[in-house]
Amino acid sequence: MNKISLLKRLTNRRQLILSGLALAILSPRAIQAKEEQATLRPRHAPPKPASNGKRIVMIDPGHGGIDSGAVGQEGSEEKHIVLEIANTVRTLLQNHPKVEVRLTRDSDHFIPLYQRVEIAHQHGANLFMSIHADGYTSPEANGASVFALSNRGASSAMARYMSQRENDADKLGGAEVQQKDHYLNQILFDLVQTDTIRNSLTLGKHVLDQIRPVHHLHSQHTEQAAFAVLKSPSIPSVLVETSFITNPREEQLLGTHAFRQKIASAIADGIVNYFDEYDRRQA
Measured from the Cβ of residue 44, the count of other Cβ atoms closer than 10 Å reads: 6
CA 152/CA 98 separation, integer angstroms:
34
Residue 273: give its domain's CATH number.
Answer: 3.40.630.40
Pick from 141, 57, 142: which is nearest to 102 by CA? 57
Q: Are 44 and 63 in contact (CB under 8 A)?
A: no
Q: What angle do CA 87, 90, 96 make, to 5 degrees?
A: 165
50 falls within a domain: no
Parent domain of 114: 55-282
pLDDT at residue number 233: 86
When divided into structural domains, the chain yields a total of 1
Q: Are 108 and 65 in contact (CB under 8 A)?
A: yes
**45, 81, 88, 279 from 124: Cα distances, Å:** 15, 26, 22, 18
Q: How confident is the model at residue 6 (pLDDT cuts 50, 70, 90)?
A: very low
Q: Which residues pair with 139 in a beta bridge?
A: none
Highest mean pLDDT, choosing among 15-24, 133-142, 150-159: 133-142
The mean pLDDT value of the chain amounts to 80
CA 128/CA 29 separation, integer angstroms:
26
CA 58/CA 104 separation, integer angstroms:
7
19 falls within a domain: no
Q: Select the more confidently predicted residue: 94 or 227.
A: 94
Is residue 165 predicted with pLDDT exceeding 80?
A: no
133 falls within a domain: yes
Record the pTM.
0.76
8 falls within a domain: no
pLDDT at residue number 39: 36
pLDDT at residue number 75: 97
273 falls within a domain: yes
Q: Select the more confidently predicted residue: 3 or 101.
A: 101
Among the ranges given (22-26, 92-96, 149-153, 154-158), the one the predictor scored with the smallest mean pLDDT: 22-26
Q: How confident is the model at residue 162 (pLDDT cuts 50, 70, 90)?
A: low
Is residue 229 predicted with pLDDT exceeding 90?
A: no
Among the ranges given (72-86, 134-148, 159-173), the one the predictor scored with the smallest mean pLDDT: 159-173
- For residue 139, give the DSSP letter: T
pLDDT at residue number 42: 40
24 falls within a domain: no
Q: What angle do CA 127, 133, 139 make, to 5 degrees?
A: 150
Name 233's Cβ contacts closer than 8 Å, sequence gap at least 6.
Answer: 183, 186, 189, 192, 193, 196
225 falls within a domain: yes
Is residue 226 predicted with pLDDT exceeding 90?
A: no
CA 34/CA 186 separation, integer angstroms:
12
194 falls within a domain: yes
Q: How confident is the model at residue 3 (pLDDT cuts 50, 70, 90)?
A: very low
pLDDT at residue number 156: 53
Pick from 235, 200, 201: which is nearest to 55 by CA? 235
Pick from 233, 78, 262: which is nearest to 162 by CA? 78
